[in-house]
Structures are given as C-alpha cells and as structure tokens.
Amino acid sequence: MHILTAIISIIAAYGWGDWRNWKKYHASLLFFALGNMIYNFYTANYFLWRMDADPFSNHSVTETIYTFIVFPATGLLFLSNFPKTMIKQILHTLQWIAIYGIWEYIFTLTGHIDYQYGWTLGWSIVFLFVMFPLLKLHETRPLLTYVLSGFVAIFVLWWFKVPIHLPVEERFH
C-alpha cells in the first residue's frame, strides 16, 4: 500500500506538478521532509502513529519512502498549484487536508497505520489543518515557520507525554 502511494504520488507530481520551477519549492519540500525526520527521531521509541510496512519492507524503508518521495511529491503538487484568490486558497488547502485524511482513513481500515498513546485519526486531521498552512507559509516566511513548527512540536510532545531522553555525558576512565 505504501509503495502504491509512492507510485501514485510520483505519477501525480509528474503530471500536475510544476517541475520547471522546482527550485522555487525546494526549500519548502526539504522543510516537509525534515518535519517527518524529526518526528521519527523524537518518537523512535514512542510512536504516536506508525506506518506498518508493506511485505518485503520494514519501517525504516517505509518512512524513507514517505520522507523522500511521497511528501516532496505531494508538497510540490500542493505548492505549485496554489491558487491566487483567498477563497480558492482555502478550498485548495481543504482539498489537500481531505486527500491526506481520506488516504489515512483507508490506511486505518486496511491496517497500514497504527495509533498509540492517545493519537487518533482525529488528531491527524487536526495536525493537517496546521501542517498545510505551515508548508505554504514556509515559502515566504521560513524563519517564522520554523519557530511556529517548533511550538507545534513542543505542544505535541508535551500533550502526548512523549518521553524525551536527554543525552548523558559519557565519561571515560
């Protein structure tokens, strides 16, 4: 299912993404990938949600596919087709929230995603309402976006009581 998601994302991005101007979106696509990598780093032993790997794969490969294929491809589609007028921008953002939400709902039905520690599909939808506007904001105000994303990450870590183990200085004798 995750490989299929990657294939569909590549085909859609190839057909409807603005590849000629990919450099315009490059930093924001890296921001998108970085967010997923940070999530996986901080929750490695306390996943709030976890993609169940496809056959012949594992969790690391699945997350690599999302980090470097699915999220950049869909991010390019979201950003490069962003409309000019406010009402169309809102509808565009809602469309992408619906796409991601429905896709995740299908994953819940087919057992391709697991939730733990109080995270639910509802929390994922709430997160999407934050994620897509931040992705768009990153194009024009990247520093502000990093600060806001930091606050969102701290809130999620705190709300869901994700244990953060600070490194202890190793002493050599």
Task: Name the phi and psi angles at 24, rounded to 5.
Answer: -60, -30
Q: Identify the pLDDT of residue 54.
A: 79
SS3 155: helix
Alpha helices in 43-117, H assignment, sequence order = 59-65, 71-80, 86-110
The pLDDT tens digits along the chain (173 residues) read: 888 999 999 999 999 999 889 899 999 999 999 999 999 999 988 999 998 887 778 888 999 999 999 999 999 999 999 999 999 999 999 999 999 999 999 999 999 999 999 999 999 999 999 999 999 999 999 999 999 999 999 999 999 999 987 655 555 54
User: The pTM is what?
Assistant: 0.89
Helix (H) or strand (E) holding 13, with range, is helix 2-16
> How far, in Å, are 30, 41, 69, 138, 166 from residue 27 at the CA level?
5, 21, 15, 8, 29
Whole-number pLDDT of residue 48:
96
The per-residue pLDDT for 108 is 95
The pLDDT score that the predictor gives to residue 168 is 56
